[in-house]
Amino acid sequence: MIDLYRIGSVLHNLGKPMDSSKLSKLLLDALKREESLLNTGLAFQLASRFTKLNDRNLFVERIPDVIVQADEINNRFLQFEGGLGVTAAIIRGIYDLSAAHNKAIDINTDQAIKFVNYFLSRKHVLTPKGANDVVDILQMYTDNKYHIPYIITKFGSSSLSRNNPVLTLKITNVLGNSIDSVSVSGTSVTNDKAQVVMNEIRFKSVTGDSTLFAFDFFEKPLPSGFFTLTVNALPSKPNTKIIGNTNVKMGFAIQTQIKISDAELIVTYHDSGVQNFPLLYPKEIFDLPEIGYLDRLQLKFKLHTDLNSDSKKNLIVHQAFIRFHHTTTNQEIIFIAEIDSNDHYKIDLNLQTRSKEFNDLSGIYQVDLIVGDALLMEPLKWTIGKIPMKLGSISTSLEDVAVVAKEYQPKPEISHIFREQEKRPHALVSNFFTFLVLVPLITLFIAWVKIGVNLSNYRFNLSSILFHSSLAAIFLLYGCFFVSLNMFQTIKYLTGLSVIVYLSVA
């Protein structure tokens, strides 16, 4: 198939006539042998160059069966098995063949958008061929007879505030180039409860960049929260080929600055009753009396945001907590502020039961209120004041000690202890067994002394000397292997000695 595709491409590029009937038959035979998706895509591309309608029709009929083989991913992408190269070959072939046959394409608008999403997701491909496939298909989607997608994206931050009130959208084709005259509008803005809070929004073109369109959402202020904008980008001249330009959902957030009110520190002393200390953000309170381990500490406050000069709205945040920081040891204890039915945040500490959370550490604690949320222009940290605290089961006798978390202390030194050697039998036992092993050799030497050894027939020639010498060397090598050599060293030396033994006998 690859060879046929290359031959047809060369003939087309050189302007030479193609025998479409013959090539059509060869392509069909090739697909019968191996009807892979890649081969089908290449066949579509080559068939788009046929001059005879009947020859092209044989391949046009296959297009619907190929499209249904596309795999959908996360309801956003469509691709064919085999990845980028296969998908690019098939999509190029389907569009070219449908245009050449002058028929409606079998890829609907939703499928086309998902195929475009897939190719856009592969724009960071690393191989030259992959880059060529992506650019070729995206270039095709800027000018063809069927689908021309618009790309609508947010430009800049989508977290809006009084300091950044403008939401900017970027409208381009799939290659990021500007498009013809277009009007951009928001049909509706809905909040996180799906309630419509704004209609008929007209975006204005940004001077100096024809791809950018902006709208100031603080002309009619919205409350802080998360919103969804439905966008339409319509060309000045109606064009049915344009897709992806209507009912596009864009999320954004309206941020606000936080306000603190009704803040109060309440201390219930076990011997003198309740004492209230009003708090005013961002001031710090001084000269707070000492709190003992039998006392009770409460802190409450309310968070809200100013919508305008006449009204305010209570604010529920993701993070609101109180930090107690020991000024001497830097120990920190954090308590989560809980919200009650009146939208007040508060903590309630009965120190008699919760002093262990402070490690019974007396001293001066700096109390900080920390608030954070995605809808805040910036997080808030308020140092409320410094509170002297006497903790422990007997607060008058408890001395302040430095508490250091265990994970920050030096770890004990690890001393490796080898396994104790197993007890061995007495040396007399091993010597006895060694003697038993040597008994046969000793017996042989004694027999030779008694009987005598006949060496008269021994021939003192070179082969005999080499044989016995190399044989003795092999036995000596075995002894060295037992004492000091490893297996690989022994095999290396044994190979050389074995060759000498073999040659001396041959």
SS (H, E, C) 289-357: CCEECCCEEEEEEEEEEECCCCCEEECCCCEEEEEEEECCCCCEEEEECEECCCCEEEEEEEHHHHHHH
3-state secondary structure 450-468: HHCCCCCCCCCCHHHHHHH
pLDDT band at 288 (very low <50, low <70, confident <90, very high): confident
Would you state the structure tokens that stand for residue 322, as one six-digit string? 């109180």
Q: How many CB atoms lie within 10 A of CB 455?
A: 7
Q: What is residue 171's predicted lDDT score, i.e. its pLDDT?
A: 93
Residue 140 clears pLDDT 90, i.e. is over it: yes
In Å, how far are 84, 88, 89, 175 from 133, measured between CA atoms? 7, 6, 8, 13
Q: Which fold has domain 258-405?
A: Immunoglobulin-like (2.60.40)
Task: Give 311-362 pLDDT, tens digit per residue.
Answer: 456 788 888 999 999 988 888 999 999 988 888 899 999 888 888 888 888 8
Summarize the confidence of residues 464-480 as an average pLDDT: 89
Query: Tokens 């039915």 sit at which residue?
Result: 341
Whether the Cβ atoms of residue 375 and residue 395 lie closer than 8 Å to each other: no
Strands (E), 377-423: 380-390
β partners of residue 168: 155, 214
Residue 68 clears pLDDT 70, i.e. is over it: yes
Residue predicted with more confidence, 25 or 446:
446
In which element (H, E) is residue 496 found? helix 487-505
In Å, how far are 476, 479, 491, 501 from 485, measured between CA atoms? 12, 9, 10, 21
Whether the Cβ atoms of residue 92 and residue 46 lie closer than 8 Å to each other: no
β partners of residue 155: 168
Residue 448 clears pLDDT 90, i.e. is over it: no
Whether the Cβ atoms of residue 275 and residue 269 lie closer than 8 Å to each other: yes
| Residue type present at position 370 | I
Q: What is residue 112's predicted lDDT score, i.e. its pLDDT?
A: 93
**Sign of the CA dihedral 60, 62, 64, 66?**
negative
Strands 291-292 and 380-390: parallel
Q: What whole-number distance in Å separates Cα of residue 369 and Cα of residue 321?
A: 6
- Cβ partners under 8 Å of residue 120, min gap 6: 138, 151, 174
Mean pLDDT of the chain: 86
Residue 398 clears pLDDT 70, i.e. is over it: no
Shared fold status for 151-254 and 258-405: yes
Q: What whole-number distance in Å separates Cα of residue 53 and Cα of residue 60?
A: 10
pLDDT band at 406 (very low <50, low <70, confident <90, very high): low
* 335, 337, 340, 342 alpha-carbon torsion, rounded to 10°: 150
Where do the structural domains in the chain lie, given as residue ranges?
A: 1-146, 151-254, 258-405, 438-505
Q: What whole-number distance in Å separates Cα of residue 160 and Cα of residue 157?
A: 7
In Å, how far are 93, 293, 416 from 42, measured between CA atoms? 7, 83, 68
Whether the Cβ atoms of residue 90 and residue 40 lie closer than 8 Å to each other: yes
Would you state the structure tokens that stand for residue 359, as one six-digit string? 């490690």
Whether the Cβ atoms of residue 112 and residue 242 lie closer than 8 Å to each other: no
| Residue type present at position 296 | R
* The CATH number of domain 151-254 is 2.60.40.420: no
Task: Give 216-263 pLDDT, tens digit per residue.
Answer: 988 887 888 899 999 999 998 888 899 998 999 999 999 888 889 889
In Å, how far are 31, 155, 224, 245, 307 from 166, measured between CA atoms? 56, 10, 15, 21, 18
In Å, how far are 52, 474, 483, 488, 490 from 497, measured between CA atoms? 82, 7, 19, 15, 11
Whether the Cβ atoms of residue 42 and residue 2 lie closer than 8 Å to each other: yes
Predicted TM-score of the model (pTM): 0.65
In Å, how far are 20, 105, 170, 487, 501 from 483, measured between CA atoms? 83, 84, 81, 12, 24
Residue 307 clears pLDDT 60, i.e. is over it: no
Query: Counting every residue, how long is the chain?
Result: 506
Q: What whole-number distance in Å separates Cα of residue 389 and Cα of residue 386?
A: 10
Query: Tokens 């090739």 sit at which residue?
Result: 30
Task: Give 28-39 pLDDT, tens digit per residue.
Answer: 877 788 778 888
Q: What whole-number distance in Å separates Cα of residue 220 and Cα of residue 222?
A: 7
Query: DSSP assignment, residue 246?
Result: S
Q: How many CB atoms lie within 10 A of CB 72?
A: 12
Whether the Cβ atoms of residue 131 and residue 125 lie closer than 8 Å to each other: yes
